Structure 1
Amino acid sequence: MLPSAFYHWKEQTWDLYLVDSFALDQASNTYTVKIKSDLTWSDGKPITAQDYLTTFWCQWVLGSPLWDYIDKIAAPDDHTFTMKMNQPAPVVERYLLHSNIIPTQQYGDIAEQARKIAEGGGSASSEPAAALNTKLVKYQPENYIASGPFTIDYKSMSNSQLTLIKNTHGYAADRVKFDRIVIYNGETPEISPLVLSKDIDYATNGFPVASAKQFESLGYEILRPPTYSGPALYMSFDKQPEFTDVRVRQALNHAIDHARNGSTALGSSGKPTKYYSGFSDFLVDAWVSPDQKSALNDYGYDQDKAASLLEAAGWKRSGNSWRLPNGKAAAYELLFPSDYADWSGAAKDLGEQLTKFGIPIKLRGVVSTQQPINVYKSDFQLAIQAWGNSAQPYPYFSFVAAFLNYNYPLAKNNGGRGIDYALKRNVAGFGKVDIQKLIEATGSGTDQDTLIANTTKLARIFNAELPIIPLFERLGNSPALNGVRVKNFPTNDDPLITNSLYADNLVILAMLSGELEPVAK
């Protein structure tokens, strides 16, 4: 299923797919989308504005943040869809155009029930909506109905792979030059052997440095698009109250050689962070006021500075180790997802660095399906989890990831308080702040100067506070094999290389545009 459009992250422009146009009427805070008139689903039924209603009512059932910003959707005719905002917000455009549109013939009944609950005064957290949410989450259609150039070959499906076959009715089917795509499922340990055997032409896993070098020796080119995210060091402020002193967090950041950590984990794809703004360095020029960028501390590797900050916070050296103000030894367990090869490498190197600095680290690896649950439930001292946002080009979403995702406002949905970092606090240079309200301000309004000012303020607060400590920014290290089944993949010089690896992927865009070609038989 395709979205209405794909985004060009650097140019901040859209490639329109299912729609001919979109426009915002600022007077009424209403977006209007004009849907292409000649589109059909793979079952032959037309794609209409009703499918847009179905899509966004189902998002209401699922509790999408979109509905915090809108209060009405409508379909004036078969090819016109409107979305009215209750407050201007740039993130609405992303939700509107980048949501995968789903078919009414499968999800329409649930969407209609959602509409009746909402228009009857019920909320998405009401009992009827919760029951409908459960029904939607458990719903498994008998067949996949596609809007794009491929559909699923059900005979090929297994736990490890599936095959996509051409959907001749789909959008861009006339441009796409491949008739069949085999998709393999698995984390890095499962996918690596398939790359080595050249059964895979392109992969997006986080491969270790040694594996990437092996792939290059076999003829693969390594593509390095940004992911706008990476691993970060999380601290339990409840279990380890010494971390509530901002000087301790700043000291830890100075004590870590981030360039070494990134290189150890991912080689050239582990890029040390420069600005520590809470979002990707690739977005800083667009979202931080030029006169304020120099105010962001780059936290250069400086263990003398780290020691000075710890001593100011009451820590004391004892031989080759550190003791807390209460006299206890500073020693911690570091929880990391054991099946993520790149994050595992980052965790092991971080443990070595801090241990050598005098803070012994014991590593505890847990599979990635369980490790986030431990973090949500505050069952950790230190942990590796994500910072940034690979799916959204607005800093707002990265701030949500940094301050909220694994903190008490959202961790409570998973039975815990996460890092338990207080969001109402005094911040040097800013006084008393309510960080949750500041986050909302970075996603509200349409005046770009105001949005930049709000984003700049919160970037400076993140930079000073370091509620989590980004270790490095992950670039893709995606092996791409030219000349076997695919003539030529995009290169690292392609203008679209700045698109996020996991959102508006440049290889998918190249395929949908027809630029990606098979090797001539």
Structure 2
Amino acid sequence: MKRLSLIFTLFLLLMGTTLSAVSAQDAPEGTWFGTWPYRLPPDHHLNAYADGGPNTNLGNVYRELVELAPAFYIWSDDSYVPMLAESWGFTEDGSAYEITLRSDAMWSNGSMVDADDVVTTYALGKLTGWSQFNYIDEVEKVDDYTVRFHFIGEPSLLAEQLILREPIVADDTYGEYAARALELFETGVDNTSDEWQALLTEVREFRPEEYIASGPYTYTLDDVGDSYMTLKWQPNSIFSDQVQFGELRLWAGETDSTTPLVLSGEIAHSTNVYPPATVETFVEQGLRIITIPRGYGPAMLFNWNVSPWDKVEVRQAVALVINRDQNAFVTNGLGAVGTEYMAGILDSSVETMLPQDVIDQLDRYEYDEERAAALLESVGYSRNSDGIWADADGNTLSAEWIFPAEFADFAGASQDAIAQLNAFGFDITARALPWQEVPENIRNGTFELTIWSWGLASPFAARHFNNPLQRWVTALDDNQPGLGIPMTEYPYNGETVNLDEMINNINVGLDIEAQKERAGEVALIVNQTMPYVPLNVILSAEPFNTEKINGLPEDGDPILLNPTGRDHFIKYYILTGVLGPAS
């Protein structure tokens, strides 16, 4: 797709050695000491469209320091600030959305960032099933730096955010596959065809040799070690002359393994969840704790393909016999709050996203053993001589619950929920797994009960419902059963509804009140059928070592309304040079 001009190519050839010398000389001297639970090669690779790539190993906090998105979102005033894009907006007739890229943005290999990169990004996004294509159907190159996204129906504010916050990949890396994908789309085949699946498999198995960056940092697989990986400064980014860190050192591991490194000063910032006693120790050591929204919490997930978890009465009974406030305290002390509304939307957003008449109808599932017992009895269960609930054939309400051993919050929430359920008469056994194996088991449907996140820090209700309902069902490949929830034929009030379509349509259009009404319909379905149990919501109490980091915002700064994860303030502050090494 991309063609560099002859003049520019000759310039690069002539200046290659000079650029290398300048790069080494001009790299900032500071080092950022962070952490992320990355994988080791060969499970660690550089393909952004496959598990084990940048989304896994850099996550939604660090990936954008390598591959920039068009814009960054500021929560305090609902605004976007430019990154790769210089302008964006809906077309006059509302049929499309346009972004225009900066003409001076460059990749680490010397190519210019242009419209071909965006088209490539979305061609493979369509092939791999991105949620953006619930709202758009065509991505058109208007000119070298302008791209038009055509809506399927009405314009969408959610589509706007998905477009502006999606990192753009290099056409130089993926262009061949993107060209083949675009040719495939022209034939009219869909994702069930052999041709589509064959190309998808090729893309998933592709292993780039170079991580081409538009951000000021990149790395090779040689930079990935057992203890930490290192992202190194590169000179070509539009932010290269602003950042103050010459490298980002990301220590491997989760809560248990990173705690001593935070205390020793080898980690200067961590997004991990630490128990209250550990946070108190951090404070005693002189570390600064900055609390920001985490935008999610742990949820008990059921495999609907395993009886009896497909029965709504059993799931409702489960929700009634877990004290969620207790579970929250075990999860993260005072840094977690038991879920109140049980509607699939984070409690902090319920009043702004749902109509009041819907809020008034929501079942709060307050702790009630008698009601839970009546629900189980209504579907043929009774307590046996051991006090365990069993059906008429003597089959007990038994299951194995898998949870990630390294995640202190999810492990604590799991063990507490299991203890409470067993005290009521369930027979649940716990099994701790390496954290990477839990999502793999969820995708493949090889579990009975488990725990993962619910909700999402987003100003759009559809994104809240997406996790876990779509994330672990419709967003998966066709050969992955996930939670086994029949999203397109969801059982509700004696009928079936297309819950997947209902979620996708929530934030279509620009009428906020209409969006609230549609969100209310989905919230009632989730609330009344309990497809999963949202246990609590976590706050992110993150340690910062001020002897290593300078430029942190004061408490109460509006930037701290940005939640951890995709919109974490550190990525914007690192890129713009606000954060730097302490003197």
TM-score w.r.t. structure 1 length?
0.89
Q: Aligned partners of 2:219, 2:475: CA distance in 1, in Å?
A: 35
Q: Aligned partners of 1:382, 1:164: CA distance in 2, in Å?
A: 37
Alignment of 1:87-98 (within 5 A): 87-88=153-154, 89-98=156-165
Deviating more after overlay: 453-462 vs 346-355: 346-355
The answer for the alignment partner of 1:298 in structure 2 is: 364
Q: 1:151 to 1:494 in 2, by over 3 A?
A: same
| Per-residue Cα deviation, 1:235-292 (whole angstroms, up to 9, x for no partner) | 3444333x45434333322211111111112112222112111122233233211343
1:456 to 520, 526, 533: 520
Q: Aligned partners of 1:435, 1:445: CA distance in 2, in Å?
A: 19
The answer for the alignment partner of 2:27 in structure 1 is: none
Q: 1:293 to 1:351 in 2, by over 3 A?
A: same
The answer for the alignment partner of 1:369 in structure 2 is: 436
Q: Aligned partners of 2:265, 2:400: CA distance in 1, in Å?
A: 39
The answer for the alignment partner of 1:418 in structure 2 is: 483
What is the CA-CA distance between 1:311 and the residue it aligns to?
4.8
What is the CA-CA distance between 1:318 and the residue it aligns to?
5.8
2:504 to 440, 450, 457: 440
Q: Aligned partners of 2:554, 2:348: CA distance in 1, in Å?
A: 19
The answer for the alignment partner of 2:22 in structure 1 is: none
The answer for the alignment partner of 1:188 in structure 2 is: 255
Q: 1:128 to 1:250 in 2, by over 3 A?
A: closer
2:209 to 142, 149, 154: 142
The answer for the alignment partner of 1:348 in structure 2 is: 415
Q: 1:435 to 1:518 in 2, by over 3 A?
A: same
Deviating more after overlay: 462-471 vs 224-233: 224-233
2:454 to 369, 384, 387: 387
Contact 2:301 2:483 in 1 (8 A): no
Contact 2:388 2:427 in 1 (8 A): no
Q: Aligned partners of 1:120, 1:422: CA distance in 2, in Å?
A: 28
Q: 1:110 to 1:268 in 2, by over 3 A?
A: same
1:472 to 505, 512, 536: 536
1:168 to 227, 235, 240: 235
Deviating more after overlay: 213-222 vs 371-380: 371-380
Deviating more after overlay: 174-183 vs 368-377: 368-377
Establish whether residue 6 from structure 1 lines up as the match of residue 72 from structure 2: yes
Q: 1:182 to 1:291 in 2, by over 3 A?
A: same
Unaligned runs of 5+ in 1: none
The answer for the alignment partner of 2:577 in structure 1 is: 514
What is the CA-CA distance between 1:47 and the residue it aligns to?
1.8
The answer for the alignment partner of 1:272 in structure 2 is: 338
Q: Aligned partners of 1:102, 1:237: CA distance in 2, in Å?
A: 36
Establish whether residue 77 from structure 1 lines up as the match of residue 143 from structure 2: yes
Q: 1:261 to 1:28 in 2, by over 3 A?
A: closer
Q: 1:129 to 1:400 in 2, by over 3 A?
A: same
Name the SS of the counterpart of 2:292 in structure 1. coil
Letter in 1 for 2:228: Q
Q: Aligned partners of 1:333, 1:46: CA distance in 2, in Å?
A: 52
What is the CA-CA distance between 1:466 and the residue it aligns to?
0.7
Q: 1:497 to 1:297 in 2, by over 3 A?
A: farther
The answer for the alignment partner of 2:316 in structure 1 is: 250
Name the SS of the counterpart of 2:580 in structure 1. coil
What is the CA-CA distance between 1:44 and the residue it aligns to?
3.0
| Per-residue Cα deviation, 1:381-412 (whole angstroms, up to 9, x for no partner) | 4322332235x5432233233434445x5667
Letter in 2 for 1:119: E
Percent identity for Structure 1 against Structure 2: 28
What is the CA-CA distance between 1:99 and the residue it aligns to?
1.4
Contact 2:211 2:220 in 1 (8 A): no
Deviating more after overlay: 447-456 vs 54-63: 54-63
2:552 to 489, 507, 516: 489
Q: 1:411 to 1:165 in 2, by over 3 A?
A: closer
Name the SS of the counterpart of 1:224 in structure 2. strand
2:466 to 396, 400, 405: 400
Alignment of 1:20-35 (within 5 A): 20-25=86-91, 27-35=93-101
Name the SS of the counterpart of 1:510 in structure 2. helix
Establish whether residue 504 from structure 1 lines up as the match of residue 556 from structure 2: no
Q: 1:493 to 1:280 in 2, by over 3 A?
A: same
| Per-residue Cα deviation, 1:126-178 (whole angstroms, up to 9, x for no partner) | 44443433333333333332212223377643243222333333122333233
2:267 to 189, 200, 221: 200
Alignment of 1:117-136 (within 5 A): 117-136=184-203
What is the CA-CA distance between 1:420 and the residue it aligns to?
4.3
2:124 to 52, 58, 62: 58
Q: Aligned partners of 1:115, 1:412: CA distance in 2, in Å?
A: 19
Q: Aligned partners of 2:198, 2:479: CA distance in 1, in Å?
A: 18
Q: Aligned partners of 2:314, 2:263: CA distance in 1, in Å?
A: 44
Letter in 1 for 2:230: T
Contact 1:28 1:84 in 2 (8 A): no
Q: Aligned partners of 1:421, 1:131: CA distance in 2, in Å?
A: 26
Contact 1:54 1:111 in 2 (8 A): yes
Letter in 1 for 2:572: L
Contact 1:225 1:492 in 2 (8 A): no
Q: Aligned partners of 1:47, 1:424: CA distance in 2, in Å?
A: 43
